[in-house]
Amino acid sequence: MAQCAESCSSIDLNGQLRKERRVAIITGITGQDGSYLAEFLLEKGYEVHGIVRRSSSFNTGRIEHLYKNPQTHTEGRKDGSCNGYMKLHYGDLTDSTCLVKIINEVKPTEIYNLGAQSHVKISFDLAEYTADVDGVGTLRLLDAIKTCGLTDSVRFYQASTSELYGKVQEIPQKETTPFYPRSPYGAAKLYAYWIVVNFREAYNLFAVNGILFNHESPRRGANFVTRKISRSVAKIHLGQLDCFSLGNLDSKRDWGHAKDYVEVDVFRACCIVGGPSWARGEGRVVWQRGAARAGLPRFEIGQVSCVRTGGRAAIPVPEGIFDLDQVSGSLRPRNPRPAPTRADQFLPRTRHPPDPPARGE
């Protein structure tokens, strides 16, 4: 396994072929961003190790196509090349012992911390859990790197969030905009942001924060607004639902495509470009009310009354949009994918019949 990773090659700045070991650990590999990142790294010849939580139900639907052996969660190419090797490990950001064990066993060259309880509304209901996973969980990962003696050899990427800006101090937001989180999720991510900065300065660890604005795709979680809209519209089309409720339809968000974000993140995390922390957005606003309505005609649902608001958020949410003018050309996607903003654009995961009702319903 290690020999496979070490056989990967790349071109240095002088155009010379060089061999380097490229082994990545991804937390949150079963999520939207983690699955796209795993695909991208495997295509680049990485040895990929994903950390997954133990669950009574399978939660690997987004990455099942990446491995052939369901018993060991591994895949290897028939030609024996290093491309395409992936292995999953049971672990949790709340368990420092398992993190030390996995990192010491794998000895990664890169760690991408994408795992989190990332739903803002749910973070108010699970505030302590969100803080433990999103905030202290990041500390556990960083401390595990130090415990394993890998501070000089590992590059660490922390998936941060535009929720750090919260009560925005300026529109659009820049990398220099002051932080003002307004949710337990944002507050936990703020701690994670600064503990990454602390470890970088105290231990000379290559550690970076990527402040990402909203990014969507057909792999978005079902409890987020875009997928909630698409699933509900599909059920209406099938005659299984009359209407559906949403939260604050007046909120405006900067939406991009998750696949673009992942590819830029890898570029920033693997190359010393710019500062140790950066923000990433598309600089374009999507009105959630418009997104909810846009998919209805495609399904021949003409009545806008099929969409009703479930009430405004307890805390007003200002407009979140990124100032794209500050992004250097090398970090802009050359051909950015349009962000999915209509229900029909989520069809790859919505076309199948909705989940059957639970017993007794």
Give the per-residue pLDDT at 55: 79
Residue 141 tokens read as 């990962």
**Distance from C-alpha of 60 to C-alpha of 128, rounded to nearest angstrom:** 26
Distance of CA 124 to the CA centre of its chain: 20
| More confident position, 311 or 69 | 69
Structure pTM? 0.71
Tell me how far CA of residue 111 lies from CA of 120, 167, 264, 275, 354, in angstroms: 24, 30, 16, 18, 36
Instruction: Tell whether the model's pLDDT for residue 106 goes beyond 90.
Output: yes
Mean pLDDT, residues 93-101 taken together: 98
Instruction: Rounding to the nearest 10 degrees, give the CA dihedral for residues 24, 189, 56, 63.
Output: -40
Give the per-residue pLDDT at 313: 45
Give the per-residue pLDDT at 13: 40
Phi, psi of 273 (to 5 degrees): -130, 120
Mean pLDDT, residues 112-135 taken together: 95
Residue 80 tokens read as 């024996």
Give the per-residue pLDDT at 123: 95
Worst-scoring range by mean pLDDT, 106-120, 149-163, 261-275?
261-275
Q: Which member of 161, 177, 226, 350 is catalytic?
A: 161
**Distance from C-alpha of 140 to C-alpha of 148, rounded to nearest angstrom:** 12
Q: Which member of 39, 163, 216, 282 is catalytic?
A: 163
Question: What whole-number percentage of the chain has pLDDT above 90?
Answer: 31
**Distance from C-alpha of 277 to C-alpha of 176, rounded to nearest angstrom:** 10
Per-residue model confidence as pLDDT tens digits over 138-194: 999 999 999 999 999 999 999 988 889 888 888 777 778 899 999 999 999 999 999
Give the per-residue pLDDT at 103: 98
**Distance from C-alpha of 102 to C-alpha of 26, rounded to nearest angstrom:** 11
Give the per-residue pLDDT at 45: 87
180 is catalytic: no
Per-residue model confidence as pLDDT tens digits over 328-339: 444 555 555 555
Mean pLDDT, residues 299-304 taken together: 48
Mean pLDDT across the chain, nearest whole number? Answer: 72
Instruction: Tell whether the model's pLDDT for residue 357 goes beyond 50.
Output: no
Mean pLDDT, residues 111-125 taken together: 93
Under the banding of pLDDT at 50, 70 and 90, the label for residue 276 is low
Cis peptide before 336 (omega within 30 of 0): no
**Distance from C-alpha of 75 to C-alpha of 77, rounded to nearest angstrom:** 7
Q: Which member of 185, 193, 216, 261 is catalytic?
A: 185
Worst-scoring range by mean pLDDT, 39-43, 62-66, 216-220?
216-220
Give the per-residue pLDDT at 333: 52
- Say if CB 216 and CB 255 are below 8 A apart: yes
**Distance from C-alpha of 87 to C-alpha of 110, rounded to nearest angstrom:** 15
Give the per-residue pLDDT at 359: 38
Give the per-residue pLDDT at 239: 77
Under the banding of pLDDT at 50, 70 and 90, the label for residue 99 is very high
- Say if CB 173 and CB 151 are below 8 A apart: no
| More confident position, 144 or 245 | 144
Domains of the chain: 2-217+255-280 (3.40.50.720)
Give the per-residue pLDDT at 54: 87
185 is catalytic: yes
Give the per-residue pLDDT at 274: 42
Worst-scoring range by mean pLDDT, 91-105, 197-211, 274-288?
274-288
Worst-scoring range by mean pLDDT, 25-29, 106-110, 181-185, 284-288?
284-288
43 is catalytic: no
